[in-house]
Amino acid sequence: MTNSIFSLEGRTALVTGSSQGIGLSLATGLAEAGAKVILNGRDSEKLATTAERLASEGHYVAQLSFDVTDHAAVRRAVDEYEAAEGPIDILVNNAGMQHRAPLEDFPEDAFDRLMRTNVTSVFNVGQACARHMIARGEGKVVNIASIQAALARQTIAPYTASKGAVANLTKGMAADWAQHNIQVNAIAPGYFDTPLNAALVADEEFTAWIGRRTPAGRWGQLPELRGACVFLCSAASSYVNGQTLFVDGGMSVTL
C-alpha cells in the first residue's frame, strides 16, 4: 500500500463522529492506508476508549472532542490543532443523526437539531479545515451523504432533505475550492449494519425487505465503505471533484 497511489502515508485525517459506527470504520480504513487519524465526538470518554483501541492495533491516533454544530468551537479546535500539531490534510464529515416520525407530526426542535447535526456541521468543519487547506494549496474533503439523497422513505423526510443538502453542498464546495487543489466528494451509503440500525437489522420483516430491494440481496457491512473513502482521500482521485459515490449494493439504480 505504501508505494500505491492509494497510500495515505504522511497524511492526517480528521473524521467527525468517529467514536462508533460508520465514522469509526472509515477512520480505521484510513489508518490502515497509512494515515494518522484524528477521532472526533462529543463524548470524551467514549472517544478515549475508541482511540485506545485503535492505538493498540498499531495506528497513530489523536482526539479532538468538540460539538460539530458549534461554529466557534469547531473553528477554535481546528485552528489550535493546526497550530500545535500540524496540517489536517483530509476531512471526513461523518457526524450525523436520525429521527423518525410522520412528517405531519415531526417535532420542530427535532427538525432543527437534525439539520444542524447533518448539514450545518458539514459547513462548519468544512470551512474551518478548508481555510488551512487553501493556504497550503491542497486538501481532501469527503462528506457522508446517504442513499436518502436520491430516494425517500416514510417517516424520515427531514433526514432525506438533510442528505440531499449534503450532496449539493458537496458540489458547492467543489465549485469554490477545486481551484485550490482541494477535492471535495461525498459517499452515499445504502443500508448498512451499524449500531444505529440495530433495531432495523433485528426486524425480520425489514431485513427481508432489504434483501428483496437490494440487488446485492443483503445489508452492507461497515468495512465495505472503507475502499471508497480511501480512494476519495488519496492521490488516486486527484481529478474527481463534486461527485457523490453511492455504495449501496445497487439499490439506487433499480426499481
Q: Which domains does the chain have, with CATH numbers?
A: 12-246 (3.40.50.720)
State residue 153's pLDDT score: 94
Residue 201 CA to its chain's centroid (Å): 21
State residue 1's pLDDT score: 44
How far, in Å, CA of 84 to CA of 236, rounded? 29
Is the pTM of the predicted complex or chain greater than 0.95? yes
How far, in Å, CA of 210 to CA of 217, rounded? 7
116: left (phi over 0), alpha (psi -120 to 50) or beta: alpha
Residue 183 bridge partners (DSSP): 140
- Rounded (10°) angle between helices 157-177 and 121-136: 10
Per-residue pLDDT tens listing for the chain (255 residues): 446 999 999 999 999 999 999 999 999 999 999 999 999 999 989 999 999 999 999 999 999 999 999 999 999 999 999 999 999 999 999 999 999 999 999 999 999 999 999 999 999 999 999 999 999 999 999 999 999 999 999 999 999 999 999 999 999 999 999 999 999 999 999 999 998 899 999 999 999 999 999 999 999 999 999 999 999 999 999 999 999 999 999 999 999
Name the residues annotated as catalytic. 159
Angle value at C-alpha 110, between 146 and 101, nearest 5 degrees: 70
Residue 219 CA to its chain's centroid (Å): 19
Q: What are the residues whose beta carbons fall under 8 Å from the beta carbon of 13, sequence distance 6 or more?
A: 27, 30, 35, 36, 37, 38, 88, 89, 90, 91, 92, 233
State residue 3's pLDDT score: 61
Question: For residue 50, what is its C-alpha cell?
Answer: 475508541
State residue 196's pLDDT score: 85
Residue 101 burial by Cβ neighbours in a 10 Å radius (0-12, 13-18, 19+): middle
